Amino acid sequence: MPSEETPKSATPRRSASRAAGVAAPAPAATVTPASSGLSGASPWAYAPAPESREIVTIRQRYGLFIDGKERAPSGGEVTITYNPATEEPLAEIAKGTPADADRAIEAADRAYRKVWSKLHPRERAKYLYRISRILQERSREFAVTETMDSGKPIRESRDVDVPLAAAHFWYYAGWADKLEYAVPGRRPEAHGVVGQVIPWNFPLLMLAWKIAPALAAGNTVVLKPASTTPLTALLFADVCRQAELPDGVVNIVTGPGSTGMSIVTDPRVAKVAFTGSTSVGVTIAKGIAGQGKGLTLELGGKAANIVFEDAALDQAVEGVVNGIFFNQGEVCCAGSRLLVQESIAEEFLARLRDRMSMLRIGDPMDKNTDIGAINSKAQMESIGELVASGVAEGAQIWQPACDLPTRGWFFRPTLFTNVAQSHRIAREEIFGPVLATITFRTVAEAIEKANNTAYGLSAGIWTEKGSRILQVASALKAGVVWANTFNRFDPTAPFGGYKESGYGREGGMQGLHAYLRSS
């Protein structure tokens, strides 16, 4: 995870400076970190360290993956996927229609009845192991493709997204022939066909979180990737072919949200899994209400990262930086609210500004880059609008002095202080590199403020006292609470939310339950 990485020099490699490109206000106090630590020009200069894209062949056009074959969309239309770091088109992507969704569901249903449900669980496990191995063998190809399509730094796609995706297939392969241990005393059964819709922030990893447990439990799958990041899902189709997965067991239908809706509402789809925004999650829940389908929703978050006065401050600074700037802050469980104890707030914020000044923002394909490109123009505009609201509502903005590439969608890491709990930046999910700071005096106040949100996905606690960790963690209304660390993911650990962050769990044995009916 990024917290393991060492700081990088802030020396800009590109000279052209520009504001974030949207309504982000010109950072008033942005020029030099107003701290006692590092300031001014860095004495270090990093040579460019670009990852080669030679290993990847991006085709001009991609079709749908239905019944083991690539198919043209029934409507004949395509959409374009762009490289967010350059704004250049990467490929034409089939715009799947409800008729295509219907074909994919038919293929998945047939594969379930005739092949997958008849296989011995040990045989299903072999396919999952094979997929995991192929992902590992082709990891560089996946990492480069993911970075080009999503804008995330190659360091993250290489060290986090792809290895974790492979680990999920490996972990759930182990469960495939042990399902009765996951539901002791009952008889586990697959649902049949599952419909899955995933977002753009971790395209391959979200695919793995969804497909691995579904197949291990004996289901077949129709998955819709996000429109802005379809490429690794389509590369995964190639992995399915390479693993000789029976036709129709995995189907990938690219297309707009309406195509996702026709997948999840189809009566042949017995279980639905969605990761994305709370608003679309609500639409899906309404759309399938009364149909008796299983449903898991992994939605948004507004996590509190709570720093107590006895915390190891430099480690906590690293954890806060990792919590909000990992993947440009486009993370559902991002630690987007910093709750810092008043007695250390000034010193902590000075150290945080120093650390932020060392972050390298720019070409995601450069191995030294800490913060890459924002996934889309629409997301840039949404971040800019919320940042502008923070300024308008009276919070104080600080951004490090740094030059941004002249092309692509880049947003400076942003720190807000003087934030009131009523401000939109304290309440709404920004899904960008923006941290809102709120102070507190007592443990009770920290808990009260941390829980004062409509979301409940994750939280972080920084303190030297184990007893305080236990006290605070048990009082926080969040599905995942990290102590003296942040953004740690493991296939064996369940992940999911409370309140408007959704319901159901992914990962671990709990993640398997969602894909099983037990009698």
The binding site for ligand TAP (CB under 6 A) comprises 197-201, 224, 226-227, 256-257, 260-261, 275-277, 280, 283-284, 298-301, 332, 429, 431, 457, 502
Q: Give the nearer residue to ligand TAP in terms of CB position, either 42 or 277.
A: 277
Q: Give the nearer residue to ligand TAP in terms of CB position, either 78 or 119.
A: 78
Phi, psi (deg, nearest 5) at residue 29: -105, 40
| Residues composing the chain | 519
Q: Is residue 137 annotated as a catalytic residue, yes or no?
A: no
Q: Give the nearer residue to ligand TAP in terms of CB position, either 193 or 316.
A: 193
> Least distance from C-beta 225 to ligand TAP, angstroms?
6
Cα separation, 226 vs 205, whole angstroms? 13
Cα separation, 478 vs 458, whole angstroms? 5
Q: Give the nearer residue to ligand TAP in terms of CB position, either 384 or 502.
A: 502
Output 112-119 pairs: Cβ under 8 A, ≥24 positions apart. Answer: 112/190, 112/192, 112/193, 112/219, 112/220, 115/246, 115/248, 115/249, 116/215, 116/218, 116/219, 116/220, 116/246, 116/249, 117/190, 117/192, 117/218
Six-digit token string for 392: 């308008």
Q: Give the nearer residue to ligand TAP in terms of CB position, either 213 or 218.
A: 213
> Least distance from C-beta 196 to ligand TAP, angstroms?
10
- Which residue in this structure is represented by tokens 């077949």? 220
> Which amino acid, one-letter code, is at 275?
T
Q: Give the nearer residue to ligand TAP in terms of CB position, either 300 or 323.
A: 300
Q: Give the nearer residue to ligand TAP in terms of CB position, either 196 or 369.
A: 196
180 CB-near residues (< 8 Å, 6+ apart): 186, 187, 188
Q: Are 285 and 265 in contact (CB under 8 A)?
A: no
- Catalytic residue from among 106, 156, 298, 500: 298
Per DSSP, the chain holds a count of helices (H) and strands (E) of 17, 20
> Least distance from C-beta 383 to ligand TAP, angstroms?
12
415 CB-near residues (< 8 Å, 6+ apart): 349, 352, 353, 356, 397, 398, 399, 435, 437
Q: Is residue 298 annotated as a catalytic residue, yes or no?
A: yes
Q: Are 83 and 90 in contact (CB under 8 A)?
A: yes
Phi, psi (deg, nearest 5) at residue 286: -65, -40
Phi, psi (deg, nearest 5) at residue 72: -75, 150
- Catalytic residue from among 332, 402, 429, 506: 332
Can you list the positions of beta strands (E) in 443-492?
A: 458-462, 480-483
Distance of CA 196 to the CA centre of its chain: 15
Can you list the positions of beta strands (E) in 344-469?
A: 396-398, 414-417, 434-440, 458-462
Q: Give the nearer residue to ligand TAP in terms of CB position, either 402 or 512.
A: 512
> Least distance from C-beta 204 to ligand TAP, angstroms?
13
How distant, in Å, are the alpha carbons of 14, 118, 168 from that of 513?
50, 20, 15
Cα separation, 368 vs 360, whole angstroms? 7
Q: Give the nearer residue to ligand TAP in terms of CB position, either 494 or 502.
A: 502
Helices (H), 289-372: 313-325, 342-357
- The closest alpha carbon to 362, from 413, 399, 430, 322, belongs to 413
Within 10 angstroms of residue 137's Cβ, the number of other Cβ atoms is 13
> Least distance from C-beta 22 to ligand TAP, angstroms?
16
Six-digit token string for 62: 């991609």
Active-site residues, by number, are 298, 332
